[in-house]
């Protein structure tokens, strides 16, 4: 089975696009929307893309953490850098 190298890494059998998505009102959302999961996504994106990734706290209850190739903006708080 061929997999897209941008969204799947050797460490995961599930594409990152499926892991990073948190369905609103999901019972699993509190477990999925954690800084640990955001960090895990950042590590996978760093391995797949080769660019540094920032883990930030957004203050938004629907998306409390996000991973980006850009530093935090506005009211967001820097949590980790995967370089």
- Annotate 32-47 with b (16+ C-beta within 10 A) or e (fewer): ebeeebbbbbbbbbbe
pLDDT tens-digit series, residues 5-63:
444 444 445 455 544 444 455 666 666 678 999 999 999 999 999 899 999 999 888 88
DSSP string for residues in 36-74: HHHHHHHHHHHHHH-S-EEEEEEEETTEEEEEESS---T
pLDDT score, position 26: 60
Tell me what pLDDT residue 33 has: 79
Q: Please state whether 77 falls in left (phi above 0), alpha (psi between -120 and 50) or beta.
A: beta
Q: In this structure, are residues 33 and 21 in contact, taking their beta carbons and an 8 Å threshold?
A: no
Answer with the residue of higher pLDDT: 62 or 67. 67
Per-residue pLDDT tens digits for 6-17: 444 444 454 555
pTM of whole model > 0.75?
no
């Amino acid at each position: 089975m061929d997999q897209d190298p941008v969204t799947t890494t050797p460490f995961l059998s599930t594409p990152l696009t499926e892991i990073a998505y948190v369905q609103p009102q999901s019972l699993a959302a509190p477990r999925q929307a954690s800084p640990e999961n955001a960090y895990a996504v950042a590590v996978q994106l760093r391995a797949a893309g080769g660019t540094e990734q920032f883990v930030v706290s957004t203050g938004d209850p629907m998306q409390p953490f996000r991973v980006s190739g850009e530093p935090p903006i506005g009211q967001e708080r820097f949590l980790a850098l995967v370089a």
